[in-house]
Amino acid sequence: MQNSRKQKLMIVLFILFGSAVTVGLVLYAFNQGLNVFFTPTEIVDGKASTGQNIRIGGMVKQGSLVKDGLKGAHIEFVTTDFNEEIPVAFTGVLPDLFREGQGVVADGYIDADGVFQATSILAKHDENYMSSEVKAALEAGAKKQTKAAVNL
């Protein structure tokens, strides 16, 4: 390669390297700030400040959702990351995908009792798409298996 071309190649590589290092350091400095939500574990570890508006993200714990008996559109449930758990209270409209065992991201604050008072609720769906027929068949299969296990 000609000398001038070699030089230009070095400049191009320098631009790529330089911008990668700069942005890498900026992202490293931001780190926590770039997460759109805190996990229950991070909240228990005190990484999020109480009383301040934050977002919490986790799974809606199976069997934790309480709707009936509460007033109007008020619901209560527990978010979990399978390590720590935070109770959540919310009054309002839920997204269609909200249900037990599904991901959830809630806006709000932690009150004095340690309950997350949500002002809005978003559903987080995972990367698994499944046809409704297959899902129904899988669930029927699982039921059969548990039945068989009970009979034993």
Tell me whether residue 27 or residue 66 sits nearer to other proteins (CB atom).
27
Contact 43, 32 (CB under 8 A): no
Give one word for 103, left, alpha or beta, with left for phi > 0 and alpha for psi -120 to 50. Answer: beta
Q: Which of 52, 71, 112, 127 touches other proteins by CB under 8 A?
A: 127
Site string for other proteins, 45-84 (x = CB under 8 A): ------------x---------------------------
Burial (Cβ within 10 Å: 0-12, 13-18, ≥19) of residue 94: middle
Contact 79, 61 (CB under 8 A): yes
The minimum distance between CB 48 and other proteins, in angstroms, equals 12
Tell me whether residue 135 or residue 147 sits nearer to other proteins (CB atom).
135
Tell me whether residue 129 or residue 152 sits nearer to other proteins (CB atom).
129
Which pair of structure tokens corresponds to residue 2? 């000609």
The minimum distance between CB 148 and other proteins, in angstroms, equals 20
Tell me whether residue 132 or residue 151 sits nearer to other proteins (CB atom).
132
Using DSSP bridges, classify how beta strands 116-124 and 85-91 pair: parallel, antiparallel or unpaired: parallel
15 near other proteins (CB under 8 A):
yes
95 near other proteins (CB under 8 A):
yes
Positions in the binding site for other proteins (CB under 8 A):
5, 8-9, 11-12, 15-16, 19-20, 23, 27, 34-39, 57, 94-98, 102, 105, 120-136, 138
